[in-house]
Amino acid sequence: MDISFLLASAHHLAVFSLVGLFAAEFALLRPGLDGARIRQLAKVDAAYGGIAGLVIIIGVLRVIFGDKGWEYYVGNHAFWGKMAAFIVVGLLTVPPTLAIRRWHKAVALARDYVVPPAELTSNRRLIHIQAAVFVLIPVFAAAMARGYGS
């Protein structure tokens, strides 16, 4: 098997895992968020961060060792659009992740802790914006796969 195929397969599996974890986080971040769901959400969020790191690592390896060569990516506008969307999604994850960590600590101190509605609403809004930006990533990927952006 060639390295390009292995890296492409690993990259796709990691991205699909990332989307699945994002969907789980999206579903868990609901009104009435309390103890058990906060603990579950914290685990999902940690996995989401870990898989995002894996997507980046495999993506970099794919750029360096893939069939197209790094020159293709550096000069491709669709690639940079995809990278920009990924960075925006990553930045939008920071406030919810910090909030989830804070809530997780609060549950450890008070088992009956419930997330304040205003905090939940603002973090849900960020998750919705992430979802909207996330949609751009496969659009740019499809454009790259068809040679657009060069």
What's the pLDDT score for residue 49?
97
Residue 51's identity, in one-letter code, is I
What's the pLDDT score for residue 121?
95
- pTM of the complete model: 0.90
Distance from C-alpha of 140 to C-alpha of 54, rounded to nearest angstrom: 20
What is the pLDDT confidence band of residue 46, given thresholds at 50, 70 and 90?
very high
Q: How far is CA 51 from the centre of its chain?
A: 8
- Using the predicted structure, report yes or no on whether residue 66 has a pLDDT greater than 90: no
What's the pLDDT score for residue 34?
87
Helix (H, G, I), strand (E, B) or coil at 114: strand
What's the pLDDT score for residue 145?
87
Cβ 123 vs Cβ 64: under 8 Å: no
What's the pLDDT score for residue 1?
65
